[in-house]
Structure 1
Amino acid sequence: MTVSVPPVPRYVPAPTATEQLDYADLPIVDLSKINTPEGKAELATTVRDAMKDKGFFYVINHGLTPEQNERIFNVANVPLDQVSDEEKMKFDGKLQQTGSYQGYKPRQYWHVDNGVRDQIEHYNMNKDLHRKGHPNALQPYLPELEEFIKYNHFNILHPLLRLLALGMNIDEETFIPLHNFDRVGETFLRFMKYHPRSEDDEAKTKNVWLKGHTDFGTVSILWSQPVVALQILCPDEKWRYVNYIPNALVINAGDALEFLTGGFYRATIHRVVQPPESQRGYPRLGVFYFGMPDDDVKLSPLPDAPEWVDRRFKNEEAPTMGDYRKGRIIAYGNSETKKVDGKETVEVQMIGNVLVKHYN
């Protein structure tokens, strides 16, 4: 990124957790290897196996320095801590009405469990930053945020999509035309902060801050941060923590990738829980880039995709990305779910023709 940058207040993150925790054993992908044919072939196998076996993996050597990483977290804190509540209301995303993540999601918007509402705030920006206005405090940083979005899109998302295609032995460009930068779609950058909760809320929700769920796009990119709270549901049905690797990325698959690949890659179930004792009382600031196909892309298996392993819907009933995205956003945390399979921890709801599960 070559944009000149104005000064920004420094965000001081939580200290690294000191506890010995049950961490998921996740592969580490060195993205710099993609620049040679041999390296790309090796990475394609690694990424395929990681996404199929674990559903999550780390990416290192993505091209941005630790200093640039620190800078983006400093900027991420601006719309969350440097904007008044009154101004935030002007940029309220009104998720339930719009079915779009653009603007603010205020705290206590979603129901978590037993009457407890969330303490999560985020500010979301479409890949086209000019589609909506932004708070005054964020205006000086828009040029570098535009560069950061493009970097995530073309230098991280697209290379990973190519590796995922190669892992299926299909043309490496297969997913690229579905993820255009200049077409109508909801690929977006998110700045997100989890605020500490009361002990009463922790008890009522069994320490769950965000229920187990799958993302609804293709590839989710999380810029690693030190607060240990993200867990994934492993194949042995145990929840394990995702560890912190400085200046790394945490990558996972979403529903759209599962639908487009006929189940070859599966959307990964994950949740957020109360951090360990050494990090309690600290907020958890996150930076995400959520990749999604263009709104008009039909989420049925691509011609080269293998047969469905677990058919979620008939091909002719496949929603477009736009319809599925709107349904998921409008319904999440604000609509009724039903317990299934005799499991108190599994809830389901229908989004169009798709059965969506939530895990607690």
Structure 2
Amino acid sequence: MPSLILPHVEPYIPAPLPTEQLDYADLPIIDLSKAATAEGRAELAIVARDAMRTQGFLCAINHGYTPTQTKRMFDIANMAFDGVSKEEKQAYVGDIEGTGSYLGYKLRNYWHIDNGVHDQIEHFSINQDVYRQPLPPTLRPFLPEIEDFAKHCHVNVVHTVLRLLALGLEMPEDALISLLRYNAPGESNARFIKYYPRSEEEEAKTNNVWLKGHTDIGGISVLWSQPVAALQILSPEGRWKWVKHIDNGLILNIGDSLEFLAGGFYKATIHRVVQPPPSQRGYARVGLFYFAMVEEDVVLAPLERESAVVQKEIAKSDRFEGGRAPTMGMYRRARTSTYGKVDLKKGEDGVDTQVVHGVVVKHYN
């Protein structure tokens, strides 16, 4: 049988690890290979439940991609920025405000960060149905690999984690999977992101914040760990802590929609991106992500009939004005189209707010 010859891709050279002693978050690490057995899933479910209930983040290893496969996907991700001209990117820019979707390019200077400073972040998002949208010619040869990556993230990683989280809610293992099916119509997407260094003046005006503290919109977010220290999470004690790099590891967190469905039992934790420490300044930061979204027509109301755990939890609070929950599609479009583009209600505590379909959305400076 002839060997598969992959198309050439320019190698991406990542930054060296930071040399500073940073205040890292103590995130649990789960071995996804253990989820192959019922006994293993029962063991992991306890760890995942406790992590997502208190911190909203956890790490994963042995996810099924080799270091070589992961390295190649970072190479492909970087090609979306270094291998496509500025003029060509313009032809594939997404209409974020008009559609409430991130599919396509988001170019730099789109979001307002603070004090008149806009972002220096580019990203390119590809729907899990990779044939749904046109791709720049540079990326088209890699379409089969991007498709495999999206499917692997959704089926082998996200669905595995959803089984664990369902067990934590004392529900059947596939209960949450039925709300985030692979290739169901929706906005689950692979996303390549590149953060570019900023001027000292911009850093001073934004207090070194590159992306304000926020929660994600969807179900499960999958971040493939990379060495540039910039991601921070807000700990349960109210302190910003750095997220440490894990070779060929994953950083997993839940979004608003899963928090709503779980009645607040699981937490969509606030996280932000800041200027890297001095030893890594001047390096761009390439990110490889997969965002698994709850299906568009799902009403984001607590699953109280399906879970006694959720039923007990929702007695403590009501996230929606008047108790009326939006559908995933309604909430996603409103959050996406307005993020970084509308005036926020300024808070004296450094927390700015807006209301999206009756939900108070917070932005942390």
Residues 1:328 and 2:329 are matched in the alignment: no
Instruction: Describe the superposition over 1:90-118 as per-residue Cα deviations: whole angstroms up to 9, x where unpaired.
Output: 10012111100100000000000000000
Q: Which residue of 2 aligns with 1:43?
A: 44
Is 1:3–1:143's contact at 8 Å kept on the other side of the alignment?
Answer: no
Residues 1:214 and 2:215 are matched in the alignment: yes
Give structure 1 stretches of 5+ with no counterpart: none
Residues of 1 paired with 2:170 and 2:357: CA distance?
A: 31
Is 2:180–2:295's contact at 8 Å kept on the other side of the alignment?
Answer: yes
Letter in 1 for 2:320: F
Q: Which residue of 1 aligns with 2:86?
A: 85
- Aligned residue for 1:123, secondary structure, equals strand
Residues of 1 paired with 2:132 and 2:250: CA distance?
A: 27
Q: Kindly state the Cα deviation for residue 315 of structure 1 after the two structures are TM-superposed.
A: 7.5
Q: Kindly state the Cα deviation for residue 310 of structure 1 after the two structures are TM-superposed.
A: 2.8
Q: Which residue of 2 aligns with 1:65?
A: 66
Residues 1:74 and 2:72 are matched in the alignment: no
Letter in 2 for 1:165: A
Residues of 1 paired with 2:363 and 2:88: CA distance?
A: 33
Is 1:300–1:315's contact at 8 Å kept on the other side of the alignment?
Answer: no
* Mean Cα deviation higher: 36-45 or 237-246: 36-45
Q: Which residue of 2 aligns with 1:317?
A: 324
Residues of 2 paired with 1:254 and 1:180: CA distance?
A: 16
Is 2:210–2:275's contact at 8 Å kept on the other side of the alignment?
Answer: yes
Q: Which residue of 1 aligns with 2:187?
A: 186
Distance 1:55 1:143, change over 3 A: same
Q: Kindly state the Cα deviation for residue 339 of structure 1 after the two structures are TM-superposed.
A: 2.0
- Aligned residue for 2:346, secondary structure, equals strand
Instruction: Describe the superposition over 1:17-59 as per-residue Cα deviations: whole angstroms up to 9, x where unpaired.
Output: 0100000011001111111222111000010011112211110
- RMSD in angstroms over aligned alpha carbons? 1.2
Residues of 1 paired with 2:263 and 2:4: CA distance?
A: 41
- Aligned residue for 1:149, secondary structure, equals helix
Q: Which residue of 1 aligns with 2:353?
A: 348
TM-score normalised over the length of structure 1: 0.97
Give structure 2 stretches of 5+ with no counterpart: none
Is 1:82–1:137's contact at 8 Å kept on the other side of the alignment?
Answer: yes
- Aligned residue for 1:299, secondary structure, equals coil
Q: Kindly state the Cα deviation for residue 253 of structure 1 after the two structures are TM-superposed.
A: 1.1
Q: Which residue of 2 aligns with 1:245?
A: 246
Instruction: Describe the superposition over 1:224-262 as per-residue Cα deviations: whole angstroms up to 9, x where unpaired.
Output: 000000000001111000000110000011100110010
Residues of 1 paired with 2:262 and 2:321: CA distance?
A: 14
Letter in 1 for 2:85: S
Q: Which residue of 1 aligns with 2:364?
A: 359
Q: Which residue of 2 aligns with 1:298?
A: 299
Is 2:321–2:359's contact at 8 Å kept on the other side of the alignment?
Answer: no
Residues of 1 paired with 2:51 and 2:172: CA distance?
A: 20
Is 2:55–2:267's contact at 8 Å kept on the other side of the alignment?
Answer: no
Q: Which residue of 2 aligns with 1:337?
A: 344
Residues of 1 paired with 2:236 and 2:145: CA distance?
A: 40
Residues of 2 paired with 1:354 and 1:347: CA distance?
A: 14
Q: Which residue of 2 aligns with 1:159?
A: 160
Instruction: Describe the superposition over 1:159-215 as per-residue Cα deviations: whole angstroms up to 9, x where unpaired.
Output: 100100001111111111111223221011000000000000000000000000000
Instruction: Describe the superposition over 1:326-350 as per-residue Cα deviations: whole angstroms up to 9, x where unpaired.
Output: 001111000010123x31x101001
> Deviating runs (4+, > 6 A) in structure 1?
none
Residues of 1 paired with 2:143 and 2:115: CA distance?
A: 40
Is 2:232–2:242's contact at 8 Å kept on the other side of the alignment?
Answer: yes
Residues of 1 paired with 2:362 and 2:355: CA distance?
A: 9
- Aligned residue for 1:268, secondary structure, equals coil
TM-score normalised over the length of structure 2: 0.96
Letter in 1 for 2:334: G
Q: Which residue of 2 aligns with 1:56?
A: 57
